[in-house]
Homo-oligomer: A and B are copies of this chain.
Amino acid sequence: MKLQLPIGERISLKHGAGGRAMRALIEQVFLEGVDAPLQGIGLAAMDDGAAIPVGERWLVLTTDSHVIHPLFFPGGDIGRLSVAGTVNDLAMMGATEPLALTCSVILEDGFPSADLLRIQKSILATSREAHAPIVTGDTKVMGRGEIDGLVLNTAGVAFTNRVVPDCGLRIGDRIIVTGTMGDHGFAVLAVRHKLALEGELQSDVAPINEMIRGALAAGGQDVVAMKDPTRGGLASALHEMAEKSGVGVLLYQDRIPLSDPVRAAAELLGIDPLHVANEGKAVLGVRPEAAERVLAALHAHPLGRNAAIVGTCMGEHLGRIILDTGLGRRLLTEPEGEPLPRIC
């Protein structure tokens, strides 16, 4: 059977890279025929997770598979990445106190037990750091050559009184990023391609639920949108938020925090750090009157010391991001996907 799918006849790497191509795959395949949820926020919203009303509260549910290569990288490993990824997806829905996580591992026949034990210790340590207990799991083994080493899936549940969507932006709202952009992607890129910058570049992978709890406590209802800029980086996250909210975003380039090693790597490689994945950061949309208050709360947390107000929502260029470079304004492209496969 030949399919007339715009995604093409075969899946390719870009379909897993978090940008436009992945959104097309989800819309054309995974949402095909899915019922609109009777209640709550579900798959069709393509948010960081789903939210189901339970009594007076919301039960938030999220899942992530992690296929990063290599398994160990500067600043973290696949175990820390999995736990942080799921904790952060819950937090991006407003659910900053995880109730429980599941952890499912698929291993290749011949995988070193010592590496597995090291990853398990990292999972456990990150789970404790985020106060996110892992309560159940699953183990599968595939043959040699049938899977590259190890992949992990974590799913998470948490209750929240209020769901923060990624589509709540209005004209005038401020865009805040909680720290430097692009660290995770460049760190993985450097170690994979043995760049000279390796060692200086460190992944930012961390559970940020505690920091987000502080921001929500400070901003309350005025925090109107959140998303973690993972695959496809800040550019991808902002495009999705702007498009769903029906606003444009004016972004001030010189206010976007970048570490020196990321700045150097970006210039060396000609890769825009705004297209590159973060694993311990968030993008917040905040009503203008609360922006400084939320920023102060972020600065008070060690993971948010570089937080900055980087943009404003506007009523033109709807669904688009305009970058003010200081010398002029240009359209920030939406990435087709993360430049590097298996970044998370």
Contacts and interface: CB of A to CB of B under 8 A. Distances in A.
B64 A342 contact: no
B155 A111 contact: no
A139 B59 contact: no
Nearest to A25: B139
A81 to B, nearest CB: 12
A108 interface: yes
Interface string A256-296: 00000000000000000000000000000000000000000
Nearest to A15: B141
Interface stretch (A99-107, A217-225, A319-327): A99-107
B67 A124 contact: no
A26 interface: yes
A317 to B, nearest CB: 29
A108 B11 contact: yes
Interface in A43-84: 43, 47, 49-50, 52, 54-55, 59, 61-67, 69
A67 B142 contact: yes
Copies of this protein, total: 2
A204 to B, nearest CB: 20
A105 B43 CA distance: 14
Nearest to A150: B11
Interface in A19-59: 22, 25-26, 29-30, 32-35, 37, 40, 42-43, 47, 49-50, 52, 54-55, 59
A151 B11 contact: no
Given A110-B10, A157-B61, A42 B102 contact: no
A34 B134 contact: yes
A153 interface: yes
A139 B99 contact: no
Contact of A16 (B10, B66, B107): B107
A43 B127 CA distance: 14
A116 interface: yes
Interface string A94-135: 000001101111111111111011001100100000000111
A112 B10 contact: yes
A141 B108 contact: no
7 contacts: A3-B113, A10-B111, A11-B113, A50-B136, A65-B106, A104-B153, A142-B341
10 smallest beta-carbon distances between A and B, as pairs: A16-B141, A155-B155, A50-B135, A63-B102, A153-B153, A50-B136, A146-B148, A11-B111, A42-B135, A65-B104
